[in-house]
Amino acid sequence: MARKVGACVLSLSSGRPPFLSQQLLQELEEEKRHDSSGDGDASTNASPAALSFAADVGTLLPGKEALKEHSAAHVESDMRSFFGLSASLFVVAQIRSGLLAPPDTSVAKGAGDVVLLSSAMERIAMPLEEYLDLASNVMHADLTECPYEAVGPGYSRKHADRALKRARQWTEKALSWWNQEDNGARSGQQLLLPVVGLDENAQQRCLEDVRKLAKEAGIASLGGAESSVGISLANLRYLDADTQITRIRKARAQAGPDVMLYAVMGTASLPQLVAALAVGANAVETSLPYMLTKLNTALSFAVEAEGPGGPLTVNLLDTRLCEDKAPISAGCPCWACERHTRGYMQHLLSAKELLGQMLLYLHNASMLIRLLEHVRALPSEEDRLAFARAWAPGLSSSLQQSETPPQPQV
Amino acid sequence: MAQSRSGPDGGAPARHGAEEEEEEHGGRGVSCGPALSVRVDETCGRARALTLALPHGPVITPVFQPVGTKGTIKGVTTQEMKEAPISCQILLGNTYHLANQPGAEVIRRMGGLHKFMNWDGNILTDSGGFQMVSLLRLAQITEEGVNFQSPSDGTELMLTPEESIRTQHRIGSDIVMMLDDVIHSCTVDDARFAEATDRTIRWLDRCIEAHKRGGEEDERNGFKSGPKHQNLFAIVQGGLDVSPGGLRERCLAEMAKRDADIPGYAIGGLAGGESKHQFWRVVDKCCRHLPAHKPRYLMGVGHPLDIVVCSALGVDMYDSVFGTRTARFGTAFTPSGSIKLKHAKFAKDAGPIAVGCPCSACRPARAGATQPAFSRASLHFLLKQASDNGVASIVTHHNLVYLLELVRSMRQAILDDRYPAFVNDFLRKQFPPEDSNAHVPLWVCEALEAAEIALDQDLSREVRDEGAQPAE
């Protein structure tokens, strides 16, 4: 693939990164490019990871026709150019908002139908193939998540079994579509197959199913950078932190070292994200910078191997900061920290000024990406686990050195 | 003479003001005070192209001043404001809002508003009087000042001319506005207008005294304020009375007596809902009487058509929240009028907001591309979705680029001695002769006649509908 997924995948807000103006998005991208180029890529001879975002296809549906026309009218056009995004941006297509609504059988008439929830909270059903076509051929997503049903500890066994069954059906159909001429597999894109097990055993069975189906579809191995499929660890967000990390670790062990393992972490905390990468996820998808920004909270730490050494965040609404001339986070090289003080940020956010959220999101995204890229780039599993133990002391039981020998492919 | 000051990062002093201005243009302007010199670069009829040498760099006119109410242009960074294609040289801050939040003293201790918001261009602050009247129902104006209830705790506060100047000193703006007695232009009370006009003159005297006495120079953080570093502008009041010997003339005559202490003038009391026929006549009257070598600032006016017409009458400076506020709701300026991007007809429109516009939305996203970074269709979609997707910033950027490019092209037309042709071109795009529903409004025709600008034959219609708006 031309682009390489970042360790940290951020959520898009209806096609664009939340809050960011065109200039600030470019600044974030420039900073990411700069960090990547100076972060040991020469030694690994790997291309730098691209600034990565996940797009909820449901929220894009109201613009579907315009998007299709745009895609048809311009050579090499896709959702990136439609939304003014850089061509090098890494995009993951997914159905996230649709999962918030319970399955609606009156809309989803058959097993082939997936239900998406538009940003206007309108449920829209479409055949699986249409979803894949949108994601792959119209959006030109680098990674496309095969749909799955939400399932977690609060769900009934019957529901969980149905989710497993449907995941299998959708996986089979998706693989079939993916391998057809001119579709995703031929365009250098990757399909993420969902692993949705309610418990460890179910997860294991689901992963075995995925491998088997992939093999039947003619995909000899799930692994390797050139593979057209990878695995999405779905529904992790319903689990407690320790279980999340354990599940990722088991999945890595079962899947082998080369399989693309994409962990959907939702609103997981910063220590959880660090731990997830340490135990074998290739990329974590998170809305943490968005959530923190909504709470007027800034990430503030130094990336030290022995741990952050203090609180990870600062509340910028704190009136004690109103005359603070220091940057949001000392030593942070982001665009906002180089130009603005905590005092100014305190004013902007308490005055509910749009620029406050823009600068704060830029800072939070920048800090989180740098930290997570750092974790992923650590040379060995031992180093990653040691780093994670320092940063996530609460998760130490699931971060002990263990039998898991395989290394994720970075 | 304008002063050089260090940048907001406290680094080496930036080369600003008259020094740089003289180098670029090879000439010194007329001193209007210790912190402002003005050079008349060219005139074309009554339209003027000036260069104002202010403490934070030159400002070329005609100029539109974007409004950064609370220390920020909403959704636009100071870097974007400074760099092309916006290339803003001066922006506006609202004293009332800044004094409430974060507080003038906080701003002073942070090194002044320039440092606080990291803006090394010029800043103009209003007096705070307008917000007292427009925002607060419980404001009461007395000879001492404006008595009002604090919006935060309900306590009574008094904004006097002296306090307004003191607050603006703490903020450290380059242009300080006097506190005037503001009343709504549509008020039907002649006696109140007369009282307000006379009081404004008395308050001007108090502002001049307060300005002369005030200010400070804090070498530690580079903060400087007071008459050597800030310019006090007077505000001409007098309601809509443009009769010979009437209130506007009376106010202008009194201010002329104080001209030595006034670096520049504003025309106040407009943009409050008065008819356009009354509006342009007040602008015309004031411009005819104000001194030729000093800047003229028309407060609260920022509609493109108003800017083009009023510059023909001799106005130099404008400000308004109109362009930035409407942008956030999806209204974008184009040479042929404003468009509402949320309208369904734009849902599949692949074109840019305005062809040839260099803003971040209209220009191609990358070199070699032909399509705009954002089509009307993509902006339509984004505006219809969640409000946190950055689209407000994108349309705001476009409208600011439009307004600042407009005034720059006006200036170029004045320098080239072709302002009448520019006006005709502008009107032809806004009111296409081939569109039977689009007529140049009567007030525009009358104002341009007063400015001795003849309309082309195809723009002069027998039927002139005052209510006609630029075509969408």
Could B110 and A341 be called an inter-chain contact, meaning their C-beta atoms sit closer than 8 Å?
Answer: yes
* Selection from A16, A4, A17, A2 nearest residue A293 by Cα: A17
**Helix, strand or coil, per DSSP, at residue B232:** strand
User: Are residues A69 and A117 both part of a single domain?
Assistant: yes
Could A16 and B102 be called an inter-chain contact, meaning their C-beta atoms sit closer than 8 Å?
Answer: no
User: Torsion over CA of A274, A280, A283 and A289, rounded to 10 degrees?
Assistant: -10
pLDDT digits (tens, 9 = 90+) for B251-283: 999 999 999 999 999 999 997 789 999 999 999
Find chain B residues with C-beta within 8 A of A65's C-beta: 347-348
Find chain B residues with C-beta within 8 A of A10's C-beta: none
Question: Tell me, what's the pLDDT at A45?
Answer: 46
* Candidates A10, A11, A23, partner chain B, best to mutate (most B CBs within 10 A): A23
Nearest CA in chain B to A339: B118
Confidence band for B154, pLDDT divided at 50, 70 and 90 = confident
Between residues A41 and B208, which one has the greater pLDDT? B208
Domain made up of B60-320: CATH architecture: Alpha-Beta Barrel (3.20)
Task: Kindly give the parts of chain A with pLDDT less than 70.
Answer: 1-2, 37-47, 74-77, 97-112, 184-187, 220, 223-226, 401-410
Nearest CA in chain B to A359: B77
Question: Tell me, what's the pLDDT at B254?
Answer: 98
* Residue A405 within a domain: no
Confidence band for B14, pLDDT divided at 50, 70 and 90 = very low
Nearest CA in chain A to B8: A339
Nearest CA in chain A to B68: A353
* Residue A82 within a domain: yes
Find chain B residues with C-beta within 8 A of A24's C-beta: 77
CATH number at residue A80: 3.20.20.105
**Helix, strand or coil, per DSSP, at residue A54:** strand
Average per-residue pLDDT in chain B? Answer: 89
Between residues B180 and B148, which one has the greater pLDDT? B180
**Helix, strand or coil, per DSSP, at residue B428:** helix
User: Are residues A161 and A110 both part of a single domain?
Assistant: yes
User: Are residues A339 and A359 both part of a single domain?
Assistant: yes
Instruction: List B residues 115-174 in contact with A (Cβ-Cβ < 8 A).
Output: 116-118
CA distance A4 to chain B (A): 21
Find chain A residues with C-beta within 8 A of B390's C-beta: 16-22, 25, 358
User: Are residues A322 and A372 both part of a single domain?
Assistant: yes
Return the residue matching tokens 């001795």.
B452
User: Are residues A313 and A212 both part of a single domain?
Assistant: no
Could B381 and A69 be called an inter-chain contact, meaning their C-beta atoms sit closer than 8 Å?
Answer: no
Question: Tell me, what's the pLDDT at A14?
Answer: 84
Question: Tell me, what's the pLDDT at A220?
Answer: 67
Return the residue matching tokens 């895609």.
A71
Residue B162 has φ and ψ, to the nearest 5°, of -65, -40
Specify the range with the lowest mean pLDDT, choosing from A101-110, B146-155, B328-337, B376-385.
A101-110
B398 is in an annotated binding site: yes
Domain range spanning residue A271?
A: 8-293+392-399
Find chain B residues with C-beta within 8 A of A122's C-beta: none
Could B390 and A350 be called an inter-chain contact, meaning their C-beta atoms sit closer than 8 Å?
Answer: no
Average of pLDDT values for B215-228?
Answer: 87
Could A70 and B375 be called an inter-chain contact, meaning their C-beta atoms sit closer than 8 Å?
Answer: yes
pLDDT digits (tens, 9 = 90+) for A236-269: 878 889 999 999 999 999 988 889 999 999 889 9
Checking ipTM against 0.85, whether it exceeds it is yes
User: Are residues A343 and A278 both part of a single domain?
Assistant: no
User: Torsion over CA of A44, A48, A54 and A55, rounded to 10 degrees?
Assistant: -140
Quick count: other Cβ atoms within 10 Å of Cβ A200?
13
| Active site members of B | 126, 319
DSSP string, A141-172: -SEEEPP-----TTS-HHHHHHHHHHHHHHHH
pLDDT digits (tens, 9 = 90+) for B58-92: 999 999 999 999 999 999 999 999 999 999 999 99
Could A343 and B110 be called an inter-chain contact, meaning their C-beta atoms sit closer than 8 Å?
Answer: yes
User: Are residues A264 and A158 both part of a single domain?
Assistant: yes
How is chain B split into domains, by residue range? 60-320, 326-417, 425-472
User: Are residues A280 and A310 both part of a single domain?
Assistant: no
Average of pLDDT values for B408-423?
Answer: 98
Instruction: List A residues 323-352 in contact with B (Cβ-Cβ < 8 A).
Output: 323, 325, 339-341, 343-344, 346-348, 350-351
Structure tokens at B472: 């969408």
Please count the structural domains in chain A.
2
Could B381 and A86 be called an inter-chain contact, meaning their C-beta atoms sit closer than 8 Å?
Answer: no
B93 close to A (CB below 8 A): no
Find chain A residues with C-beta within 8 A of B374's C-beta: 83-84
User: Are residues A287 and A342 both part of a single domain?
Assistant: no
B74 close to A (CB below 8 A): yes
DSSP string, B434-446: T-TT----HHHHH
- B71 neighbors B116 (Cβ within 8 angstroms): yes
- A50 neighbors A3 (Cβ within 8 angstroms): yes
* Residue A372 within a domain: yes
Give A4's DSSP letter.
B
Nearest CA in chain A to B381: A63
Nearest CA in chain B to A66: B348
Return the bridge partners of B272, or none. none
Q: Is B42 exposed, middle or buried (0-12, 13-18, 19+ CB in 10 A)?
A: middle
Specify the range with the lowest mean pLDDT, choosing from A304-313, B191-200, B447-456.
A304-313
Residue B47 has φ and ψ, to the nearest 5°, of -75, 145
Between residues B20 and A123, which one has the greater pLDDT? A123
* Selection from A333, A240, A227 nearest residue A282 by Cα: A227
Out of A77, A323, A339, name the one closest to residue B109 (CB).
Answer: A323
At A49, the amino acid letter reads: A
Instruction: List A residues 43-72 in contact with B (Cβ-Cβ < 8 A).
Output: 59, 62-63, 65-66, 69-70
Question: Tell me, what's the pLDDT at A362?
Answer: 98
Report the residue count for chain B: 472
Question: Tell me, what's the pLDDT at B9?
Answer: 37
Specify the range with the lowest mean pLDDT, choosing from A7-11, B281-285, B442-446, B467-471.
B467-471
Could A14 and B350 be called an inter-chain contact, meaning their C-beta atoms sit closer than 8 Å?
Answer: no
Could A20 and B390 be called an inter-chain contact, meaning their C-beta atoms sit closer than 8 Å?
Answer: yes
- A11 neighbors A19 (Cβ within 8 angstroms): no
* Residue A185 within a domain: yes
pLDDT digits (tens, 9 = 90+) for B39-62: 999 999 999 999 999 999 999 999
Question: Tell me, what's the pLDDT at B171?
Answer: 97
- What is the distance between the alpha carbons of residues B76 and B65, in angstroms, rounded to a whole number? 14
Q: Which residues of A367-376 are buried (b: 16+ CB within 10 A; e: fewer)?
A: bbbbbbbbbb
* Residue A369 within a domain: yes
Could A341 and B369 be called an inter-chain contact, meaning their C-beta atoms sit closer than 8 Å?
Answer: no
CA angle B156, B162, B168 (to 5 degrees): 95
Between residues B127 and A63, which one has the greater pLDDT? B127
* Residue A382 within a domain: no
Nearest CA in chain B to A336: B77
Q: In the A/B pair of chains, how many CB contacts fall below 8 A?
A: 158
B193 is in an annotated binding site: no
Find chain A residues with C-beta within 8 A of B392's C-beta: 354
Find chain B residues with C-beta within 8 A of A66's C-beta: 347-348, 375, 377-378, 380-381
Out of A14, A23, A341, name the one closest to residue B385 (CB).
Answer: A14
CA distance A188 to chain B (A): 23
